[in-house]
Structure 1
């Protein structure tokens, strides 16, 4: 009898727990939702989070390396002195791979029979290519073919060599271009960059293709193929590879200040932090000398110093005691860089024109290098100052930066990349990548630089990767070289 009571009690408890579990599941299931997020639900958050990561790291890392700003002081870990802590590696690595999961999920869901959508598939491949290029250009060899496979139980992916990563990125961009031929537009609310316009995504994808082909163009083993492809895109078969045609086609996530489209600088960077970081002499002196409209009109939101503009020398020796001078303004009561819509730049038309100017200068395409250069300068200015209407030739002559087709190639590269440097303002690590590729623009080097005064060539791998994925980490280092900021990535080596 006692045993029967115990059994009955256990059965009662089991029934009660089962009922509770069923109720819990019902209570925590959205009756209007779907177990798998749809592409239109994933795209905007993935774009916002990626661009937010890029903006924050552009501000405190790229800008310090590339003499846009100087965070003055004599403490250790000052990026403007090339003194990089290993912890710089973690933020971009973690966030970029996190968003790759979302971009890949967009493709996975969009490619299913019931949800088949070529536009989202193409957009996904372009976004994957963009983020993977950021990863490999920052770190070198990276997890690629086996990355983002945690759902499949792979938490220790192998690293792919940079050449293989790039070759597959190019395949992705080719596939995206094909998918987007005549593709329908998608839900504008799902796309904060192009409002769902499939053609504009296709133009961006092919413009990105040119950016990345140019990045490999100096690598001996792949140079000829890259140059041939550049010529095919621009000259031989342009109808198959539509490119951006003006500022209206620029890939920019514009911050409206509404909901999720609020700049990450608001709340992510304190106002006093803006004031404590000065503008570098290199950045401000050129704009001053050229009487650049972006500076003169105040669109770049730079504070004056003693009635004018003045910067801090980058790389100055510790102990010199430099005081802050001009700095980026930091108020939300007016349009400053804290809430500037254009700070969400991914790739703009001005950059594309300078890519074409370089290719034409080197004889790879048939266009006129001077025309591309002039268009690049003009579109770079009018993106920020639409009211600028002066003839670009007049501005260039007054600033003494007129392009000449008879100049030496090195002189042409300095002019092109000095202007491209400003076109790349606020664009993730692109200034750093291009400087590592070309050595232009020529940056002054202060006596306080460490790392033997050599621009860092990559970021270290995150420390936790060494312990969580030791086998593949060691294999990657054995191929690429020491896990050190001076180790050049594959495309930097001759």
Structure 2
């Protein structure tokens, strides 16, 4: 609670936190209510924090994709997520800190009224701004629900927004949720009016820029649609085509980027966990580094730090990128490459959407070809890789010629390059599950026979919401880490 208060206080300082309501001075006996924009700001920050943090109690996607391995604790790289309640913490973080704040902000905005003295034009403008705000909240709701579905499968959805009325919500079918999320996204995009304002400075992603939020919405349509490519081709092509025609995030200038600052508690969670906490828990995993070394990929220089091999006198005799053996004890900061300096920088931004990601989705749509209007898979593939190099500020040189697009095995081409480009992004897990590249294997010490393809439901759901949990587990076959999400067909 203390941290939340500090964050909200920081937001107030940043945005000149005052109550500009017309009746503020008329009735100061009314109970204090946090303004809607600060709840929205907190939801944005919470969402990015949950997806960026390397804290192994809250987010373990870097182990699922075998980007990193551990040096102090080894339960997570063994895929033993039960001890630290990883699945519980991720679930709670998205439902409570993100969806909860978005829901509260929405309720306040819906109840807001224009000033009593407002002119007719001012009332029209007020209502349009209100609609813009609600549409943006809706897009973040959809984004968050997709993450939950992609992580767990069937989840509480239709009853999830009413915790006081129903503390034991039912679980909805995952595919049914996806269908509704696409409808909600389309409606939210249509409701956005670029001629009016929205949250302004309280919007840490786009500063209230509605044109960019439209691109966010269209990118979300593409993301939702491409996930359904093997499950529901008709809906997939509908969503991807509409998002593509509407204009999506194809340039890094339009990335959905949360700019952290240098002051606690608003610096990047990577910095918090790797530097400010004075911990050395993570190093590069050999699974990933070996592949980067094979390609001589220039992005190694920002993804990781050089390992210095020394002689018995402590003199450096060679420097190169070295991964610790994934899932095995014995890895240390001294015998493996450390994580890149970006993780030790407080202001490194957090990303919800980036150009590389959307270009890869469009490359996939063009490669599939069945009903998608997108053409030129190789072009989007090259654009995606180029955008990644630009994002990390690394010269691309002749790299594209070393990893040419292979139309006969486009899943491998796109899957392997997306694995590299979406480093530090949870979306890489989705691409891997959909395209089956890269091919990853568990360590000999793993508690699971395969790399997880979903999370188990939280312990609290199994005990407190047991009846609905049991129905949900039965509906997907079994509550296990190797049960595929509905769209993961192959």
Q: Distance in 2 between matches of 1:401 and 1:485?
A: 33
Contact 1:130–1:208 (8 Å) recurs in 2: yes
Q: Is the 8 Å Cα contact of residues 307 and 320 (structure 2) preserved in structure 1? A: yes
Alpha-carbon offset, residue 340 of structure 1: 5.2
Question: Displacement of 1:274 after TM fit?
Answer: 5.3
Give the drift of 1:476.
1.3
Residues 1:71 and 2:70 are matched in the alignment = yes
The corresponding residue for 1:146 is 159
Map of 1:304 onto structure 2: 307
Equivalent residue for 1:348?
354
The 3-state SS of whatever aligns with 2:293 is: helix
Q: Residue deviations 1:460-485, cap 9 Å, x none?
A: 11112222222211221221222221
Shift of 1:327: 3.5
1:114 aligned residue: 113
Structure 2 residue aligned with 1:402: 404
Alignment of 1:219-298 (within 5 A): 219=231, 222-234=232-244, 238=245, 241-258=246-263, 261-269=266-274, 275-296=280-301
Q: Which residue of 2 aligns with 1:171?
A: 183
The partner residue of 2:78 within 44, 69, 81 is: 81
- Taking a change above 3 Å as real, the CA distance of residues 233 and 373 of structure 1, as seen in their structure-2 partners, is same
TM-score norm. by structure 1 comes to 0.80
Contact 2:132 2:193 in 1 (8 A): no
Matches within 5 A, 1:320-399: 321=330, 325-329=335-339, 336-339=342-345, 341-363=347-369, 364-385=372-393, 388=395, 390=397, 394-397=398-401
- How far apart, CA to CA, are the structure 1 residues paired with 2:412 and 2:55? 23
Looking at structure 2, the residues matched to 142 and 389 of structure 1 have their Cα atoms a distance apart, in angstroms, of: 42
* Secondary structure in 1 matching 2:60: helix
Inter-CA distance 311–259: structure 2 relative to 1 (3 Å threshold): closer
Name stretches of at least 5 consecutive residues in structure 2 with no aligned partner. 1-26, 115-126, 310-318
Which deviations, in whole Å up to 9, do the C-alpha atoms of 1:203-244 show, x marking residues without a partner?
01210221121111111xx2222123323433xxx1xx2211
Q: Is the 8 A contact 1:72 1:322 kept in 2?
A: yes
Q: CA deviation at 1:301?
A: 4.9
Does the C-alpha gap of structure 1 residues 446 and 328 become closer, same or farther in structure 2, counting only changes over 3 Å? same
Q: CA deviation at 1:45?
A: 1.1
* Higher CA-based Rg: 1
Counterpart contact for 1:156–1:469, Cα < 8 Å? yes
3-state secondary structure, aligned to 1:169:
helix
CA distance in 2, matches of 1:268, 1:278: 13
Q: Distance in 1 between matches of 2:47 and 2:235?
A: 31
- Checking the alignment, whether the CA contact within 8 Å between 2:222 and 2:241 is kept in structure 1 is no
The TM-score, its normalising length taken from structure 2, stands at: 0.81
Greater percentage in helix: 1
Aligned counterparts of 2:207 and 2:243: Cα–Cα separation in 1: 25
CA distance in 1, matches of 2:277, 2:35: 40
Distance 1:58 1:378 in 2: 30
User: 1:469 and 1:283, CA in 2 relative to 1: closer, same or farther beyond 3 A?
Assistant: same
Shift of 1:96: 0.5
Cross-structure match for 1:418 = 416
Unaligned runs of 5+ in 1: 1-29
- 2:142 match: 129
* Matched residue count: 435
